[in-house]
Structure 1
Amino acid sequence: MNNLSNAFPRESRLLTPSNYSFVFEDAIPAVSPHITVLARFNTINGPRLGITVPKKKVRNAVDRNKIKRIVRESFRIQRHQLPNVDIIVIAKHGIGQMDKKSLARQLDKLWLKMSKRCEQQTQKK
């Protein structure tokens, strides 16, 4: 397997507050009980990811970092099937109690749901 194709380079990340604001202004949501995924079309060639795991929802830093690692890994695997969108993944209450497999499964479903909604949005225009 080519390691570069599954990398998570700086260009694939939302880095600045203005990047996040851009998505929040006109987001296409995909929601589950533990995760909200917001997406907005970008002008860059490929999807970008931003992750927020509030301390209020997951107290322990180790757990917050674990969740972020799982989200990044899922994004790396799925990003070649995703449209050109900026994505924000927001953790909700109870996500800290999920095991790695169920979190990954839920993310896979949300990537698909988000992609379909983005496709529907494109067809409306």
Structure 2
Amino acid sequence: MRSVLVAFLILCCGLALTWAGTLRLSEDYSTEDRRPSWTHRHSSLWPCDVADYPEAYVLMHKVEKRLERIDNDQLKNRIVQYVTQQLRQCKSGQQMDEHCVKRSIGYAMSFINHHKENSLTE
């Protein structure tokens, strides 16, 4: 009787571990579905070498919102190039440093404000 109970407990533990592993895998796939609408996997505005990193999405989204209020295409291109350069500096190997990206938000907004003001005075 005792050996049947031990075998039953081992079986239950094995099933629980299998179920937990399956649950974890399904959660990983569902995070792809819950990605924000402003993800940039195949954006024409941002190069793939920076757009494929989810850590960069926040900065790219903020910049895109600011670009919507700018009419000068040359200025827009200059801003995108600057931000792309900032994001490339945040890469190390095949990873993007999230803290570096967050620091770059301030630099990017300052760059945009400075160049936007200069374009108004010209």
- Structure with bigger helix share is 2
Normalising by structure 1, we get a TM-score of 0.39
Higher strand share: 1
> What is the TM-score of this pair, normalised by structure 2?
0.40
